[in-house]
Structure formats: structure tokens, C-alpha cells
Structure 1
Amino acid sequence: METMSLEFITALFSIIFIDLVLAGDNALLIGMVAKNLPSRQQKKVIVVGTLAAIIMRIIFTLLAVKLLEIDGLLFVGGVVLVYIALKLLVTEENNELRPSAKSFLGAVWTIMLADFLMGIDNIIAVAGAAYGNMLLVIIGLFISIPIIVWGSTIVIRIIDRFPLFIYLGAAVLAWTASKMIIKDAYVKPYLTNPLPILLFQILLIFIVVSIGFVLRGRNKYKSHQFE
């Protein structure tokens, strides 16, 4: 993949969009951690904690990229990504974590640990969208994570107000999953014609969005019944 080619730019925007859709709760948790510290330390812990989280995320994402080079794991990663896309559509995140770190270093460690534990889905998705390009991973994370941290409230409000973004996010994840599956060493020999590949990608996106739409509507109907 050549730098600044159409494929590179498309993959970069996919990574940024995936992070914006999946990582809102991570940003809220960073804000919760910072509130436990004196006001003079809050901005500093957000900056240091975010930078530490970015570095750690890059390391684990690059590790995931290398793991996905093993035959068969691209297919497994694609299936997992389909599950993540459906989970994004049908579940409402409920963060029960109440960070209580009072020291600066304790707060930074809490941010790093929470970002990793809550960001495993991001790591798999970004690793798949990068298609083995390490530069894409680094640029995408350095662009998207600061946006999430400092604009988390805005991002979450947009997603809440315009549910279409959730469906777009799920579609991007399904599209990324389809590309992972068709690039797997065990699948690639059977998909050599562009038309079946395109039909498979469109079908997978349609299935994920349709199932998510039905289940999301069912969940909303049940929640209204118990109100």
C-alpha cells in the first residue's frame, strides 16, 4: 500500500472513524479519573495519561497487526469484528467503573489500564483496517485519540443525537471485517473474481446492519414496556 494513495487514505479515514465510534467511553473515563485530582493537576494528567495510552495502544495494535499475518487469524479477526459491529448496534454501554486514584501516577496508570481493557475492540478493528501498514496505525491513533479525549462529549452527543453514525460505524466495521476475511490465506484462493468479492462485502454489511436494526428496535421496544 503506497503512502497517500487512495487505498491508504481510505484506510486512514476508516481507522479514525472506527476509533471515534468505539472509543467514546474511554474518553469519559479519562475525565472521571482527572476529576479525582486537584484542579492544577487535572489538565496535566489528561495530557500525560493520553500520551501514555496512545503509546501503549500503538504497541498492542502493532502486535495485533503482526499476529494477523498468521494464516487463519485474519479470518478469525474478521469474524470477531462482525461480532463487535453487532455489539455496537445492540448494546448500550454502561460503564460501572468508578476510578478512585488520588495520586498523579496512580491516575496515569488507571487511564492506561482502563484504555487497554476498554479498547480491545478498537485494537482488533484498527489492526484489521490497517492491512499490515504500521504507519497507518500510528497516524490514525495519533489523530483520533486526542480528538476523542478532548472532544469526547461532543462526539458522544453527536452519536446519541444522530443514530445514523452508529449504523455507519457498524457498516465500516463490517466492511473492514469482510476485507480481513477475503485476505486470509485460507479464503483468498476461493475468491479470485472481483464480483463475488464485492457481493460478499455488500452482503455482509447488509446482514450486520439489518440484524443490528432489528435487535436494536426490539431492545428499545422492551425497554419502553418496562418503563
Structure 2
Amino acid sequence: MDILSLQFLSSLLSIIMIDIVLGGDNAILIALATRNLNQKQRKKAVFWGVFGAIAVRATLTAIAVYVLKIPFIKFVGGILLVWIAYKLLIEEDKHNDVKSGDNTFAAIKTIVIADVLMGIDNVLAVAGAAHGHPLLVILGLLISVPIIVWGSGIIFHFIERFPIIIFIGGAVIAWTAGKMIAEDDFIHRAIVSQLPLLDLIIPISITALVVIMGYWKKNASASYNKV
């Protein structure tokens, strides 16, 4: 894939969007993990915690890129990603179990472990959007991580003010899931190759279904809470 091609650039934009939408809550994670530390300890914990989390996440994503090349694994990953996109749209809280560290090392450990456990969705989504190209993963991280870490407050402000950003992010993830399912070697040979339009019909249908169901569930929950 040519790095100046439309496919490469669109995949890179998808990865950045996925990183920001799924990783934008890192500010909450960091705040919870370091809330008992003084300012000097907090800065140190944030730096090394974020560094460690990025290193682990990059490694896991690179591994996932290659694992997804195994027949049928991409299909399973795509199905999981559909659920991840839906969960994003209905806004389930992922921070209930994040505990504050009592010292710098404990806070760093909390940030890294919590980020890995909470970031499985990010790893899978980015690996799927990378289409087997580790360079896309690296570039996506280099661009999006500084935005996430130092611009989390701005990101949250815009998400609160413009909730449609979450739906756009969910749609990108759902589209990635649909493409993963359609591009799985087994599915492609058995079904898609016989009906070429399915490589578009599948991601379009999945994206529409996820967005509609997410919107309906979100509104239904809001109406129930008002009662």
C-alpha cells in the first residue's frame, strides 16, 4: 500500500479517529490513578504510566495485526468489534474499578494495567483498520497519542458539546468491523467472491444497524431515567 495513496490516508484517518474516540477517556483514567499523589509524583507517574501504556498497546496491536491474518480470526474479530462499537454508543462506564495508587510506582502500574484491560477494544479496532500494515499503527499512535494525553480536556469538551462525534466514531468502528468480516479469507472465498457487492453491503449494513440500535438504546435509556 503506497503511503500517499487514498486507501492509506483513509485508513490512517480511521485509526486516528478510533484512537481518539476509544482512548479519549484516558484523562479520567490518569486522574483516578494519580489523585492521591503530590504534584511531583503525579507528573512522574503520568509520564511513565503513559509511556508504558503506549509501549504495551503498540506491541499488542502489532501482534493483533498479524493474528488477524489467520483465516476466520478476522471474522471473529469483526463480530467482537461490532459489539465494541455498540457499547461505545450506549456509553457504558469503564472506570468504576480504577483505583488510585498510593505511590508513584503503584500509580504507574495502575495506569498501564487499566489501560491494557480497557484498551482491548482499541487494539482490535486499530489492528482491523490497519489492514495488515504495522506502519499505519505506528503513525496512528504517533499522531493520536499526544492529542489524547495533552488534549483530553478539549476532546471531552467537544464530545459533551457535540455528541455526534461519538456516533461518528462508532460508525467508523462498525465500518471497520464490517470490512474485517467481509475481508476474512474464509468468508471472502465462500461468500463474498461469489457476490462481489457484498464487500460493500456487509460494512454498510453493519454500520447502519449499529448506529440505529445505539441511537435507539441511548434514547430509550434516557427516557427511562426521566421517569
Tell me the alpha carbon deviations over residues 128-172 of structure 1, each in whole angstroms, 9 at most, x when there is no partner. 111111111112122212211222122122112211111101110
1:175 deviates by: 0.9
2:60 is the counterpart of 1:60: yes
Distance between the aligned counterparts of 1:113 and 1:201, measured in 2? 32
Residue 10 of structure 2 is matched in structure 1 by 10
Any idea what the Cα deviations from partners look like across 1:169-199, whole Å, max 9, x if unmatched?
1110111011111110111122235533222
Matched residue, 1:209: 211
**In 1, Cα distance between equivalents of 2:19 and 2:106:** 25
TM norm structure 1: 0.93
Counterpart contact for 1:89–1:170, Cα < 8 Å = yes
Q: 1:34 to 1:142 in 2, by over 3 A?
A: farther
Deviations 1:107-137 (A, max 9, x none): 2111110110111111111111111111111
CA offset digits 1:26-64 (Å, max 9, x no partner): 331112223322212322321221111110101111111
1:191 matched to 2:189? The reply is no
Q: Which residue does 1:75 correspond to in 2?
A: 75
C-alpha distance in structure 2 between counterparts of 1:30 and 1:95, whole Å: 10
Task: Name the CA distance, whole Å, in 1 between partners of 2:182 and 2:72.
Answer: 11
Give the match for residue 22 of structure 1. 22
Aligned counterparts of 2:167 and 2:98: Cα–Cα separation in 1: 29
Instruction: Give 2:202's aligned amino acid.
Output: F
Aligned partner of 2:87 in structure 1 is: 87
CA 1:124–1:94: 2 relative to 1, 3 Å? closer
Larger mean CA deviation between 69-78 and 94-103 belongs to: 94-103
Contact 2:35 2:100 in 1 (8 A): no
1:179 maps to which residue? 179
Question: For structure 1, which segment, 80-89 or 138-147, has the greater mean C-alpha deviation from structure 2 after superposition?
Answer: 138-147
CA contact (8 A) 1:32 1:99 kept: yes
Question: Identity across aligned pairs (percent)?
Answer: 45
Shift in Å, 1:94:
5.2
Q: Which runs of 4 or more aligned residues in structure 1 lie more than 4 Å from their structure 2 counterparts after TM superposition?
A: none
In the alignment, does 2:223 pair up with 1:221?
yes
| Paired letter, 2:205 | L
Mean Cα deviation higher: 160-169 or 28-37: 28-37
> Structure 1 residues 92, 157: closer, same or farther in 2, change over 3 A?
farther
Alpha-carbon distance in 1 for matches of 2:207, 2:53? 31
**Residue 104 of structure 1 aligns with which residue?**
104
User: Does the CA-based 8 Å contact 1:64-1:127 persist in structure 2?
Assistant: yes
Q: What residue ranges of structure 1 are gaps of 5+ in the alignment?
A: none
Q: Number of residue pairs matched? A: 225
Q: How far apart are residue 216 of structure 1 and its match?
A: 1.1
Gap change, CA 1:36 and 1:182, over 3 Å in 2: same
Cα separation, 2, equivalents of 1:42 and 1:104: 7
Structure-2 change in CA distance of 1:4 and 1:51 (3 Å): farther
Answer yes or no: is the 8 Å Cα contact 2:15–2:130 preserved in 1: yes
Gap regions ≥5 residues in structure 2 = none
| Partner of residue 149, structure 2 | 149
* Root-mean-square deviation (Å): 1.6
Structure-1 residue corresponding to 2:46: 46
For 1:201, give the aligned amino acid: P
Q: Which moved more, 1:27-36 or 1:135-144?
A: 27-36
CA distance in structure 2 between the aligned counterparts of 1:69 and 1:141, rounded to whole angstroms = 21
Return the offset for 1:212. Answer: 1.1
